[in-house]
Copies of this chain bind each other. A is one copy, B any other.
Amino acid sequence: MENRQVLIDSLPDEKLSTDNYKLVTTEAPVPGDGEVLCRTLLTTVAAGSRAGLQGSASYAGAPQTNIVMNSHGVARIEASNSDSLKVGDLVTCPTGWQDYSVHAAKHCQLVSDDIDLAHYLGALGTNGLTAYFGLLRVGEPREGQTVLISAAAGSVGHMVGQIAAIKGCRTVGTTSTDEKCGLLMRDLGYDAAVSYRSPDFRADLKAACPDGIDIYFDNTGGEVLGAALFRMNEHGRIVCCGVVSQYDTSHPSGGPKGVPGLLVNKRIRMQGFLVFDYLKDYDKARAEMKDWIKSGELKPVNDTVEGLENAPDAFVNLLGGGNVGTRIIKIAD
């Protein structure tokens, strides 16, 4: 049985390009004892994976070539040597960018089809959990506060905005174009939106946050972080979730002015987190998110691209800000 795989062919010098990947066809693997063969149905394209191509400074460890691009996905069991999973079961597992993969059954999580399967990679997957724990546990929002979110239309950002709104906050998003600003307010429920590429970005941000910023959920670092620091209110919180402005380069920029001086003067808490630290509370968070989706309070957006062969292009485009919501590659029905 043929297995198409997208391999990391080379590491990017500067910006990632589709040339850094190659599509190969191999023989599908055979499950051993306690293992299952998984047919990938849906898989993710995540900005955070770019860090894994950047070397040892990243939490993802040292980069490698000639391996299948890693990703999480939803798969259907095609063959099983385990009592715990049977053929036809639906699971989430680290599929990678390929048609078939083999995993120990215990590394697959059984899911039900009572909800759009793509949500398991979005709101109920790492992105949604990141939004949930980052905002609620690190940001600690209170009703009436202003929450600024960078990469606000992104896989994590668009859910942070909606969860902040559920908590009674005023939400302001930054994104890459005026067109996406319109979309943030029209489709994603933001109260205000600002393009960070505008020559008047700092003035626009000030106008969009007349009462200052209580929580900045930072997905980008860079210019937005620098500007947000100067608009933070006393005792504000900066949730350091990601540095997408710094991923797609081999020369990350220096730190923002105002650190640490403004942190002292305004008693700001700036805190990095990784979602994995909240593992023990995943089930509780997923249950609450599922309730919000079913009640219509949370409307996660999944941005689906058809075809495994289009994954590299979808990733390059994502790093350039081309996505709205969680970008998912559909590989099979």
Q: Which residues of A contact B (CB under 8 A)?
A: 57-59, 218, 221, 225, 238, 240-243, 246, 252, 254-274, 277
Q: Contact partner of A264 among B258, B264, B265, B273, CB < 8 A? A: B273
**Which of B58, B256, B262 meets A265, CB within 8 Å?**
B58
For chain A, what secondary structure do more than half of its interface residues adopt (helix, strand, loop), or is it mixed? loop
CB A311 to nearest CB in B, in angstroms, measures 25
Q: Which residues of the partner chain B approach A266 to less than 8 Å between Cβ atoms?
A: 272
Contact A221 B267 (CB under 8 A): no
A221, B271: Cβ atoms closer than 8 Å: no
Q: Can you show 5 pairs from A to B with CB atoms below 8 A apart?
A: A243-B260, A255-B256, A264-B273, A265-B272, A269-B269
By beta carbon, the residue of chain B nearest A241 is: B264
B267 touches A273 (CB 8 A): yes
Complex: A96 Cα to B246 Cα, angstroms:
48
Interchain nearest-CB distance for A104 vs B (Å): 27
What CA separation (Å) do A246 and B267 show in the bound complex? Answer: 17
Contacts A221-B261, A254-B254 given; indicate if A268 touches B267 (C-beta within 8 A).
Answer: no
In the bound complex, residues from chain B placing their C-beta under 8 Å from that of A58 are 265
Give bound CA distance, A328 to B238, whole Å. 37
Q: Is the CB of B274 within 8 A of A261?
A: no
Beyond A59-B264, A252-B257, A267-B274, 14 additional pairs, beta carbon < 8 A = A57-B261, A57-B265, A238-B260, A240-B264, A241-B264, A242-B264, A243-B261, A243-B264, A254-B257, A255-B256, A267-B271, A267-B272, A268-B271, A268-B272
Partner of A260, one of B218, B258, B260, B269: B218
What's the nearest-Cβ distance from chain B to residue A264, in Å?
4
The 6 closest A-B pairs by CB, nearest first: A255-B255, A263-B272, A255-B259, A264-B272, A240-B260, A59-B265
A258 to chain B, nearest CB (A): 7
Asked if A260 contacts B264 (CB within 8 A), the reply is no
Residues on B with beta carbons closer than 8 Å to the beta carbon of A59: 264-265
Q: Across the interface, which residues of B come within 8 angstroms of A246, CB to CB?
A: 261
- Across the interface, A270 reaches (CB within 8 A) one of B57, B263, B274, B277, namely B263
Q: Which residues of B contact A268 (CB under 8 A)?
A: 271-272
CB-nearest residue of chain B to A262: B272
Bound state CA distance, A260 and B218, in angstroms? 9
Q: Which residues of B contact A263 (CB under 8 A)?
A: 240, 270-272
Query: CA A263 – CA B221 in complex, angstroms?
Result: 11
Rounded to whole angstroms, the CA-CA distance of A161 and B79 in the bound complex is: 61
A264 to B238, CA, bound (A): 11
Find out whether the CB atom of A255 lies under 8 angstroms from the CB atom of B252.
Answer: no
Q: A57-B261, A218-B260 are in contact. Are A270 and B271 (CB under 8 A)?
A: yes
A274: nearest chain-B partner, CB-CB: B267
In the bound assembly, the distance between CA atoms of A265 and B246 in angstroms comes to 13
Contacts of A252 in B (CB 8 A): 257, 261
**Residue in chain B with minimal CB distance to A252:** B261
Q: How far is the CB of A90 from chain B (nearest CB, A)?
A: 32
Residue of B nearest to A265 (CB): B59
Q: What's the minimum C-beta distance from A53 to chain B, rounded to whole angstroms? A: 15
Question: A255 touches which one: B243, B254, B264, B274 (CB < 8 A)?
Answer: B254
